[in-house]
Amino acid sequence: MPPFEQLRAQPARQIQDRMPTIRHLAADLGLAVNTVGRAYRELEEAGLIETRGRAGSFVSAAGDEGRERARQADADYAAVIASVGIDTGEAIRIVQAALTPGGAASASV
């Protein structure tokens, strides 16, 4: 998975209200500033963060709501997986296939 994709996915798990600056995060992770910048742009386009000029980038209210919806879907998915007896490895493969562009059709069991 390309580094910008890893960065884009990471905030859903770890983000706080205010995000570090692009330069600071790039230095901390040892990545190019452009790589981190691309991840931030994509997060903003997805509505997960909003940039407020010199004030920095912050988690958007829509991003918080989206994560809560994802957590609920996660709990529902886990319950279905347990009820039909699919093992964890297969459940993860199904999710990965569904998250891959064009992979949702191949995710069915």
- Residues 48-101: pLDDT tens digits? 888 888 888 888 776 667 777 888 888 889 899 999 999 989 988 888 888 777
Dihedral-angle region of residue 89 (phi above 0 means left; psi in -120 to 50 means alpha; beta otherwise): alpha
Strand partners, 58: 18, 50
Give the predicted TM-score (pTM) of the model. 0.46
Answer yes or no: are the C-beta atoms of 33 and 26 closer than 8 Å: yes
Q: What is the DSSP letter of 58?
A: E
Q: Are residues 20 and 43 in the same domain?
A: yes
Domain assignment of residue 106, yes or no = no
Paired tokens of 39: 């991840």
Number of domains the chain is built from: 2
Q: What is the DSSP letter of 18?
A: B
Question: Which domain covers residue 8, as residue numbers?
Answer: 3-59
d(CA 12, CA 74): 13
